[in-house]
Homo-oligomer: A and B are copies of this chain.
Amino acid sequence: MFTEILAPYDGSKNADRALGKAAKLADLTGANVTVLTVFRHHSMLEASLSMVRVQEPGSIDNAMREHATQIANHGKAMLAEAGVKNVRAFVRSGRPARMIVEFAEKHGTDLIVLGSRGLGSGDGYLLGSVSHKVTGLSKCPVLVV
């Protein structure tokens, strides 16, 4: 019933729980699972950084991308350990909810599995707003864990 599961992952506890459900659903359905970690591009953080003199804005992006890559790889490893055979991991920068939905549409996702809270809660989002936005914007079913 599901063939391409997208698991947005930010390393939070809720995201871990969501990955666990994604792994079980993949086991039941034989679906592929794609881990996606989204980080916010420097330009989107400029407002909050405007009081700080940033010498090398590029280095912030690089650090964020590196951190996001570690998180995505951690998610991928968790899924592999849980027995999921076809796992990929991607890192993207942008607005989390929109990026998740856009990615899902491009990659033929037929189920998005994500934590109810966690994603984005650290950078000014209301708790849970990413999962709310994704469920509102997504054209495919969304499992909120």
**Which residues does A use to contact B, with CB under 8 Å?**
1, 21, 24-25, 28-29, 116, 128, 131-132, 135-136, 138, 141-145
Identical chains bound together, number: 2
Of chain B, the residue at the smallest CB distance from A141 is B145
Chain B hits for A29, CB < 8 A: 28
**Inter-subunit contact A131/B135 (CB<8 Å):** yes
How far does the Cβ of A97 sit from chain B's closest Cβ, in whole Å?
13
Can you name 9 A-B pairs with beta carbons within 8 Å? A1-B24, A21-B141, A116-B135, A132-B136, A135-B135, A138-B144, A143-B143, A143-B144, A144-B144
How far does the Cβ of A40 sit from chain B's closest Cβ, in whole Å?
23
How far does the Cβ of A128 sit from chain B's closest Cβ, in whole Å?
6
4 additional A-B pairs beyond A141-B144, A143-B143, beta carbons within 8 Å, are: A28-B29, A128-B135, A142-B144, A144-B144
A136 and B128 contact, Cβ closer than 8 Å, known pairs A1-B24, A28-B28, A28-B29: yes
Interface core residue of A138, A141, A145 (most chain B CB under 10 Å): A141
